[in-house]
Amino acid sequence: MKRTETVMAHNGCGALPDHYIKGLIEGEHILGAKTENVGAASLDLTLSEEMYRVPGLSLPRSGQTVRSLIESLGGVQHSAYRPLERNGVYVCRLRERLALPEGLYGCCNPKSSTGRLNVRAWVLADGVPRFDAIPSRMPSGSSLWAVIHPASFPVITRSESLSQMRFFNLDTRLTDTEIKIEMSRCKLVRAKQGKVLRYNDCAIHDHDGSIILTADLSGEIIGYECIEPNAVLDLSERNHYDPRDFFRPLYKRGNGFVSLRGNRFYLLRTKEFVSVPPMFACEMEPVDRHTGDFSAHEAGFVDPGWGWGATGDIKGRPLTLEVTPRSDIELYDEHPIAKIRFERMADEPEAAYDARSSSHYRSNEVFSPFSKHFKKS
C-alpha cells in the first residue's frame, strides 16, 4: 500500500485510539509494525536481534543517530538470546520505524509486564536527545531503539515487546476544573468499599488536574518484595515461573507501618479503585518531592476501558505500584503514594481494554500483582 499524505479526518483531538493507529500502519506512517500489536490506544514495540551492551545510559545529540551514539560509547554486540545481566545497560534496535504525518507526535513507556519485573526500559529515537519522546516532524524512516536495564534479576529478551508507543494530535490532559467534573460524572475513582470518590473526598490536591492515590496496607499480605535472585527469567515464557523464586510476601508491623528499604523493589497496590471510561486514557505521573523520595511506577499507562467492563459494569480496580525507594521509608495505610492524570481520547477505541481477550490484567479477584510470566495462584 502506498504511503498516504494524511491518515484520516480526525473527529476529535487527543490520544489516538486503535483504529487510528492501524490507519497509520496501513498508510505506511509506521513501518515494520503489525496491526496485531495495536492495543486500545497504543502500539507494542518489538525488539530486533540487533543488541549492544553499553557502559551506561546516554542520549544522542540533536541530529545524531542512535547507532552513532552506540559506536561512540564503545558498544559491544550482545545476543538477544543470552541473559541480560542485572544492572547492565543494553541498547536494542526496534523493528518499527516512523514516518509520521505532520501534526502527530508520540510518547513511549514500558508495558505493565515490563514494569512489574523491574526491567527498566526507555525508547530512543534518532536525533532526539530525550527518552521516550517522539516529536512531530521527525525525518522519514527514523530508527527507534530500546534501552534496557534489568534492575532486579537477569532476563532473556528474545524478540519480545518491552515498551509501547502512544500517539497524539493534541495534549488533552484534564485541567483541575475538568477533573472535578469528570470524577463525579464518570465515576473515575472509588473507595475500596465501592463509594464513588469526588474531588473533595481526596485529602490532598496538587491543583494540576491530577488525582493523588494512597497505599493499601489492609489485609494480611500487603505487597511483595523482590529477593533479587540470580535466576534468569525468559520473557518469552507465560504462566511459567513460581513467584516465590523471585518475590517474598510483605507484611506490616504491629504499629501499622511497613518498612521499605532503599534501592529495593516492591509491588504494592492503591487503596483506591480506578475506572477508565473508553473516552479517556490515564497515566501515572512521577512522584514529586512533596510525597517522598521514591518512584511509584515503571510502566504508568492505563488503557481506555481498564476497570470499566463491557458497559461500565465494573467498579474499577486498584492499580499495581512498582515502588523503588531511594532511601528507607515507612508507609502507613492510606499513605500518599501515586499520582494519576486523565486525558481525552480523539475517539473511542474499537475494542477497549476490558473487552479484549488478550488483556492480561482484567482480574477483580485477590491481589495478584505479578506479571504474565508467573504462574497464577
Spatial distance between the Cα atoms of 322 and 273, rounded to a whole number of angstroms: 16
Q: At 211, list the grid cell.
A: 488525582
pLDDT reported for residue 134: 95
Q: Please tell me whether residues 321 and 217 are part of one structural domain.
A: yes
Class of residue 130 by CB neighbours under 10 A (exposed 0-12, middle 13-18, buried 19+): middle
| Domain with 55 in it | 18-168
* Side-chain half-sphere exposure of 240, counting CA atoms within 13 A: 8
Spatial distance between the Cα atoms of 248 and 245, rounded to a whole number of angstroms: 8
Q: Residue 9 pLDDT more than 70?
A: no
- Final residue in a domain of this structure, among 125, 149, 168: 168
Could you report the per-residue pLDDT of 196-223, keeping only the tens digit for each?
A: 999 999 989 999 999 999 999 998 999 9
Tell me the pairing of strands 336-344 and 317-325: unpaired
Q: Please tell me whether residues 181 and 129 are part of one structural domain.
A: no
Question: Where residue 8 falls among pLDDT bands split at 50, 70, 90?
Answer: very low
Domain presence at residue 364: no
Nearest to 132 by CA among 154, 164, 104, 100: 164
Q: Please tell me whether residues 251 and 153 are part of one structural domain.
A: no
Q: Residue 5 pLDDT more than 60?
A: no
Nearest to 90 by CA among 52, 126, 49, 48: 52
pLDDT reported for residue 362: 65
Class of residue 334 by CB neighbours under 10 A (exposed 0-12, middle 13-18, buried 19+): middle
Domain presence at residue 253: yes
Question: Where residue 293 falls among pLDDT bands split at 50, 70, 90?
Answer: confident
Distance of CA 291 to the CA centre of its chain: 21
Domain presence at residue 198: yes
Three-state DSSP state, 285:
strand
150-159, 188-197, 280-289: segment of lowest average pLDDT: 280-289
Q: Please tell me whether residues 312 and 340 are part of one structural domain.
A: yes
| Residue with cell string 507501618 | 257
Q: Please tell me whether residues 156 and 221 are part of one structural domain.
A: no
Could you report the per-residue pLDDT of 220-249, keeping only the tens digit for each?
A: 999 999 999 999 999 999 999 999 999 999
Q: Can you state the percent helix, strand and coil of the chain, rounding each to 5?
A: 10, 35, 55
- Final residue in a domain of this structure, among 152, 168, 184: 168
Q: Residue 314 pLDDT more than 60?
A: yes
Could you report the per-residue pLDDT of 77-107, keeping only the tens digit for each?
A: 999 999 999 999 999 999 999 999 999 999 9
Total domains present in the chain: 2
Question: Where residue 10 falls among pLDDT bands split at 50, 70, 90?
Answer: very low
Q: What is the CATH number of the domain that holds 121?
A: 2.70.40.10
Domain presence at residue 370: no
Q: Please tell me whether residues 153 and 192 are part of one structural domain.
A: no
Domain presence at residue 309: yes
Helices (H), 244-353: none
pLDDT reported for residue 253: 93
Q: Please tell me whether residues 199 and 271 are part of one structural domain.
A: yes
Under 8 Å between Cβ of 347 and 11:
yes
Q: Please tell me whether residues 154 and 215 are part of one structural domain.
A: no
Q: Which long-range contacts (CB under 8 A, 24 or more apart) does 54-60 make?
A: 54/89, 54/90, 54/91, 55/89, 56/89, 57/89, 57/122, 57/147, 57/149, 59/124, 59/129, 59/130, 59/131, 60/124, 60/126, 60/127, 60/128, 60/129
